[in-house]
Structure 1
Amino acid sequence: MADEREREEILVAEYHKKIKDAFEVFDHETNNTVDVREIGTIIRSLGCCPSEGELQDLIAEVEEEEPTGYIRYEKFLPVMTSVLLERRYRPVPEDVLLRAFEVLDSAKRGFMMVSDDVPFLSLPGEPFSQEEMEEMLSAAIDPESNAIHYKDYITMMVIDEH
């Protein structure tokens, strides 16, 4: 029992350090606050992938009663610690991503041309903003062939949890 409690305390301390380090990157005025628009980036840098709706719920949970546009570290820390301990908003596993790309790659070529892929990115669901689309494509496209070699792209996207 004591070993389990000790392990959890160590895990919590590790999470606190990761959260503080991630938060400090965006605490430009070193006053323990960050712009609310940076919270999604911070959360994702900690290996969580909430939907936009889930992100808005998290922001509402850590925001002040009267929103100021800034999030305080003291309010963010316990909420984010809980998220990490509960392993909420885990990324999609690599095999699921691979199957999704394989469905889109009906010719089973192992790659997709940008012109093949773009229509699927605008289907119903959580749409990409233009900025997200450009960022994703700049990371995914092989500039020589103008193709997305999806197995390589998936390997680059997947978070190693070990």
Structure 2
Amino acid sequence: MAVPEEAEIHEVFKLFDQEGSGIKIKEIGTVMRSLGLAAPEAQLREFVAEAAKKDSNHVQFSDFMGYVRRAQTMEADKSVDVAKEMQGMKNGIGHFFDKLSHKQIRENPPDMVKIADIKHLLSSVGEKMAEEEIEEMAREIRNSCRIQDGRVSFDDFVKMLQA
């Protein structure tokens, strides 16, 4: 989802602020989610605690905008971290296939690797990946590599990892 502009944020805020006195503190998370922001529960609790110090019941738009910007910054930072983790993982898998597994995993035809073996490695070797991450990698493989009988072209796989 695209980053919401201040005008869009204000429109959504007004939908929840029917009386013009601000949104209820307990609705901070709901309003953020309606904007497409997925602030973690810990961060939402922090926002609620800060808002409660100013007013026990409501949050004004200017304060809410501050919370939105902080949530957006956190999401952007998380995206950068995930990208770095994915690149590290790709490098590690490429190294593993290049150095360790030629005889163990590669089968006839010799330039193809079973997708199931790749998934097994991702879930059991080194830092284990979550099922979601494994499926995301499998989708990327299916979208970027030649596949035949459940096997992926080893050369295509290596190129994908190096991209």
Same fold per TM (> 0.5)?
no
Higher relative contact order (CA 8 A, sep 6+): 1
TM (norm. structure 1) is 0.41
Is the radius of gyration larger for structure 1 or structure 2?
A: 2
